[in-house]
Amino acid sequence: MCFDVDSAPPVPEITGASVAHRDLTLEAPDGASLAAFEALGGGEVGVVVLPDVRGLYRFYEELALRFAERGFDAVAIDYFARTAGVAKRGDDFDFWPHVEQTTFEGVRADVGAAVSHLRREIPNRHIVTVGFCFGGSNSWHQAANGHDLSGAVGFYGNPTRAGMPQGAVPVIERAGDIACPILALQGGDDPGIPNEESIRLREALDAAGVHNDIVIYDGAPHSFFDRKYDEFAAASADAWNRVLAFIDDVTT
């Protein structure tokens, strides 16, 4: 997993910001229900947050709130309703068996449900996906999955891993199908994602004519974007600023 249960996004809360938020149950295009958390910032741009392998929990609900405080409507989704139901889960949730049962089409459908929800009242709304680890590579996949996204952001996504979720090919092999700009925020000291793989992603996207920004933070580990990691505060701050700048760039 990317974060501990007591982790929190290293993003300052905007004191006094008026943010409505609630738990949701959405219906995917395949008829499945999925749990989600919505935070409303009242702006024209929507953000779909794709969690790590633990699924929807406090870290991503907090992140949705931080987006909303900055004027974005954000929906953080869960992956596991098809196998674990939509109820809230405790810190002892055994997530890995459910990760192993996720499918490429299921994740596509779940993201589609969040996109449709965000476009219910604003049909032409710009939407950007932001994902972490398992959600990072899945965020990039959604750029090729027909959701008409404006951009896709991935924190420490694996560009060359296949079969996670079931049926997924390496996202690097889909570079030619990606239909929007890509931002990748990678740890330079992440043993699971060698820097060479991130560089290969940049090369594949460049060759396909896809606008991209592949950022590798020297010495930063997997899951560096965490308030507890004071030693990576500069990388986290830079990454957050890049996310906001990217969203502004691809939606204006």
What is 21-251's CATH number, 3.40.50.1820, 3.40.50.300, 3.40.50.720, 3.40.50.620? 3.40.50.1820
Residue 40 neighbours by CB distance under 10 Å? 17
Amino acid making up residue 138: N
- The whole-number pLDDT of residue 16 equals 78
**Cα-based distances in Å from 147 to 67, 115, 124:** 20, 7, 12
Q: Count of alpha carbons within 13 Å of 249, Cβ hemisphere only?
A: 16
Amino acid letter for position 208: A
Confidence (pLDDT) at 5: 80
Using DSSP's 3-state secondary structure scheme, residue 109 falls into: helix
Strands 33-40 and 46-50: unpaired
Distance between CA atoms of 31 and 26, rounded to whole angstroms? 10
DSSP string, 103-144: BHHHHHHHHHHHHHHHTSS-TT--EEEEEETHHHHHHHHHTT
What does pLDDT average to in each consecutive run of 10 residues of the chain (252 residues)? 81 87 96 96 97 96 97 97 94 95 98 98 97 98 98 98 97 98 98 97 98 98 94 97 98 96
pLDDT score recorded for residue 33: 96
Tokens of 174: 């889909």
Domain ranges of the chain: 21-251
